[in-house]
Amino acid sequence: MTSQPPPPPQPGAQAVPTCYRHPDRETYVRCQRCERPICPDCMRDAAVGHQCPECVREGNREVRQAQATFGGAAVATPRVTWTLLVLNVLAYAAEVLRPDEVVQRFAMWSLGVHLGEWWRLITSAFLHAPPPSFWHILFNMWALYALGPELERRLGSGRFATLYLLSALGGSVAIYLFGTSAVGASGAIYGLFGALFVVARRLGYDARGVLWLIGINVVLTFVVPGISWQGHLGGLVTGAIVAAGFAYAPRHNRAIVQFGIAVAVLVALVLLVTMLPPYGLRLEGAFT
């Protein structure tokens, strides 16, 4: 049995379309965007019909990534908040196991910082009053749990971490200048109080409840004995300044402005420690 070859195309007959990426494959499916013929291997599902790989890549580039309110990637899970909670709990566990060694080496101590033990400015913010006292870490971790997720979603994870650490540093610098020693995340927590007020005002929310919260805690700072008012107020002021820089930065070049403000605050805090002596120790006669 023999077969005849296909007849040559008649003049004016339309050629069979082939995939633009695989010319040896016939296809009658076209990309919904560019209308080029595409074979099954080149088809990408779209909202309607199919698209070619190039149009899919181009569309992905055109889609704007979701952002947090004040810049940075949108936050679905507040991972920085949970990480800070875990670090504080782990540090407290270390205190339970070896309280004297951990506190003596890592607590905030003005004279130690003046003599070059700079790490105390940050490590002290992850320590708390050792057992049998538990209220200190419980209050601070409750406040972090209550305030952290909302602020992290508004600011973005990177900016929230910057706010927290700069507030902690601000509290430690105030202790260095006007106090003697302390432990606790309270400087950072009070920085979150200040940031919450700034963010609420920036978004047009009623901030009176936040003001009451701040006022009550400031009063307790001076009424309850054994609390470092320097660390609380230092963190509060630093947090409010950093949050204002983040929240009120203009949309144009927002990230650059926010980065510059954070660096400026960090430099100012470092200069305060390097250029000034611990006045609190001088008042107590422990430093001359």
- Enzyme catalytic residues: 186, 232
Question: Rounded to an integer, what distance in angstroms lies between the CA atom of residue 130 and that of residue 174?
Answer: 22
Residues 176, 121: contact at Cβ < 8 Å? yes
DSSP secondary structure string, 68-113?
-TTSSB--SS-HHHHHHHHHHHHHHHHHHHSHHHHHHHHSEEHHHH
Spacing of C-alpha 198 from chain mean position = 16
Angle at 255 between CA 253 and CA 259, to 5 degrees: 120
Question: Rounded to an integer, what distance in angstroms lies between the CA atom of residue 207 and that of residue 184?
Answer: 26
Q: Which of 217, 215, 158 is nearest to 186 (CA)?
A: 217
Residue 18 pairs in a beta bridge with: 26
* Radius of gyration over every alpha carbon of the chain, rounded to an integer in angstroms: 30
